A and B are shown apart, each in its own frame.
Chain A
Amino acid sequence: MKKLMQFLFLSCLKATELIEKKLHVQLSFKEKIRLKMHKSMCNACRRYDEQSKILDKALKKQTHKIGNINIEELKIDIKNKISTTHE
């Protein structure tokens, strides 16, 4: 019985670790079962799971702002830098 319990139950720390791992790689069968069991009993980790997915999507969705930079100025800066370094 003790072995079965150990097999099935995860701590919150381990559960959140698997929640993160799951976003990037496939979990093993054992990991999936244990995470599912844990989430069915733990409100906080269930929330963590939902919120972690939201953060994952928000990060993926990030637009990569180019910022207000003047490309022509940057070209001049680079050219100046090259000529001062190489003459």
Chain B
Amino acid sequence: MQSNYNQINDWVNNYTEELFTWTMYRVSDTENAKDILQDTFLAVAKSIDKFNEKSNPKTWIFSILNNKISDYYRKKYRQDTKIDLDILSTFFSKDEEWNSAKEPQNWQDNEKNLLDDLEFIEILNYCLEHLPNKFNTVIKMKYYSDKEPKEICQELKISTTNMWQMMHRAKLKLRDCIETGWFKNN
């Protein structure tokens, strides 16, 4: 067992940085990324006997890590079982026109300025983190993980239509939060 133990220690020494960077890239949350990585190495330790000496350890560990990341997203997505999917009624009237209070306002600034504005980006991040988990998850999976829409649907076990609808609601909420936080207070 001692040799297994040394082996894992070597892997921890050699791969932690790269694995952590990748995890952060996928989940962008330090504490969760640390937990995921620890879980990954525990899984590595548990199944090291199944590791084929001839294969590349890094590839093997990455595949375990990617599974853990998918589990994390799936779990997070499932957390809000009670989330009000009918948020559309906040934004639109019965005949599906904008409710006047939620109608998009003029942002008075052009795209380039906004994209370079650190305060704007900060509010965007704040609003993203304060979205319900379901919405936050679809957005992060879409924008942070370079996954094809098809893969996202498979991982979350939802239909394509369901995904568009989720994206639509997520963006409505995100846009609204940013407008309230930034433009109406400036």
Please list the residues of chain A having a beta carbon within 8 angstroms of any beta carbon in chain B: 11-14, 16-17, 20-21, 24-25, 44-45, 47-48, 50-55, 57-62, 64-67, 69, 71, 74-75, 77-79, 81-83, 85-86
B159 within 8 A of A: no
Complex Cα spacing A74 to B35, Å: 10
Spot the interface stretch: B52-60, B63-71, B77-85, B102-110.
Answer: B102-110
Complex Cα spacing A25 to B34, Å: 34
Of B24, B120, B143, which contacts A65 at CB under 8 A? B24
> Taking the nearest CB of chain A, how far is it from the CB of B2, in angstroms?
11
**Contact A66/B107 with A54-B114, A78-B38 known, Cβ cut-off 8 Å:** no
Please, how many residues of chain B have a CB less than 8 angstroms from a CB on the other chain?
A: 54
Please list the residues of chain B having a beta carbon within 8 angstroms of any beta carbon in chain A: 5, 8-9, 12-13, 16-17, 20-21, 24-25, 28, 30, 34, 37-38, 41-42, 45-46, 88, 91-92, 95-98, 103-107, 111, 114-115, 120-121, 124-125, 128, 139, 142-144, 149, 164-165, 167-168, 171-172, 174-175, 178
> Taking the nearest CB of chain B, how far is it from the CB of A63, in angstroms?
9
| B175 CB contacts on chain A under 8 angstroms | 48, 51-52, 55
> Taking the nearest CB of chain A, how far is it from the CB of B161, in angstroms?
10
Complex Cα spacing A77 to B30, Å: 14
Contact A60 B143 (CB under 8 A): yes
Contact A17 B164 (CB under 8 A): yes
